[in-house]
Structure 1
Amino acid sequence: MPLVLKVVNCTSEDESFMYKLFVSTRIQEFTLLHLSEKQIQSLLKMQYDAQKNSFHTRFPNATYEMIYLEGVRIGRMITDKKRHCIHLVDISLLPEYRGKGYGTEIIKTIQKVAIMERMDVTLYVLQGNPAQNLYERCGFYVIEKVDPYLAMRFDVVQK
């Protein structure tokens, strides 16, 4: 039975969810710092704001979308279309939805759009991030190391 995922554009009402999602992806590394809860929350908020500002500056025309599973928000995706490329800026799922095939379905959907529009797909992944395995299973390959990230590509257009 196919998964029932829906992707819709983000609105200002999604801001608190996007912060919660960011925290879920970063909290583990901050708890290793042995700081007070207040200090950790302050650092998380600063990092969230910095990431958000960086994305808006680097990708001013990006599309921000919420990922829903049967009416429940489970993640977020940011893509930026260029002339011959769809760049996957960020994709995040809540922890309880990771490793269940939802990320694969979203990636495959992006690839179908890329094939229809004859565009390659690119992304950066932090070295050591388990998502690298997902991307490789979906046909992405490393094109460059940009410490601490790996640049990856899924080819549609023949070079």
Structure 2
Amino acid sequence: METLRPSTEEDLPFLREVYAASRAEELDQVEWPPGQREAFVRMQFDLQDAQYRGGNPDGSFDVVEVDGTPAGRLYVDRRPDDIRIIDIALLPRFRGAGIGGRLLQALLDEAAASRRTASIHVEVHNRAARLYERLGFRPAAERGLYRLMEWSAA
């Protein structure tokens, strides 16, 4: 069973691992000198984390746990009219088990109950877009490499 808990400073190494796993396919295309991949991942994670937190000061930044084991992250900004899913990512060994779908469905249920939309930015070539579409998200805007997808109960 998955649960959420607020991330802390002690979770930073784990959150970097989740970030690295989410970029592995892309990063595997480069031959890295010793230590350079890790330094790059740390720098990119730190920039992304600062951007996410700075742009969503009221957001919740949670660690996803499965049976008490850290499995991923779920970042959400609950806005007056919209539940913005800032990021959802799971370590590879937890993917494909329905965890992400259940977490997203809970957010959609919350959005419906509070009469809000739900939205997420997705990289255009991200395979997870199929999951979002199955859950009822629809493309709303193209922004370079990203597509804004929105869900509404109406």
Task: Tell me the TM-score normalised to structure 2 length.
Answer: 0.95
Cα distance in 1 between the residues matched to 2:145 and 2:133? 18
Cα shift at 1:130? 0.8
Is 1:40 equivalent to 2:37 in the alignment? yes
Counterpart selection for 1:60 from 57, 61, 71: 57
1:80-119 counterparts in 2 under 5 A?
80-119=77-116
Partner Cα separation in structure 2 for residue 72 and residue 119 of structure 1: 31
SS in 1 for 2:31: coil
Per-residue CA distance 1:16-43 (angstroms, 9 max, x = gap): 1111111111133123121213111111
Q: Report how many aligned residue pairs link the two structures.
A: 154
1:140 to 122, 137, 140: 137
Report deviation, 1:56: 1.6
Any unmatched runs of 5+ in structure 2? Answer: none
Distance 1:32 1:94 in 2: 19
TM-score of the superposed pair, with normalisation by structure 1: 0.92
Corresponding residue of 2:118: 121
Tell me, in whole angstroms, the C-alpha distance in 1 between the residues paired with 2:95 and 2:102.
Answer: 12
Return 5+ residue gaps in structure 1 as ranges: none
Alpha-carbon distance in 2 for matches of 1:48, 1:94: 15
| 1:39-96 deviation digits (Å, cap 9, x = unpaired) | 1111111111110111122111111111111111111100001111100000010011
Contact 2:21–2:92, Cα closer than 8 Å, also in 1: yes
Distance 2:87 2:148 in 1: 13
Partner in structure 1 of residue 68 of structure 2: 71
Hey, what's the Cα distance between the residues in 1 that align with 2:71 and 2:123?
Answer: 21
2:112 and 2:152 in contact (8 A); partners too: no
Q: Determine the structure 2 residue equivalent to 1:14.
A: 11
Q: Report which stretch shifted further, 52-61 or 128-137.
A: 52-61
4+ residue segments displaced more than 6 Å:
none
The reply on whether 1:149 has 2:118 as its aligned counterpart is no
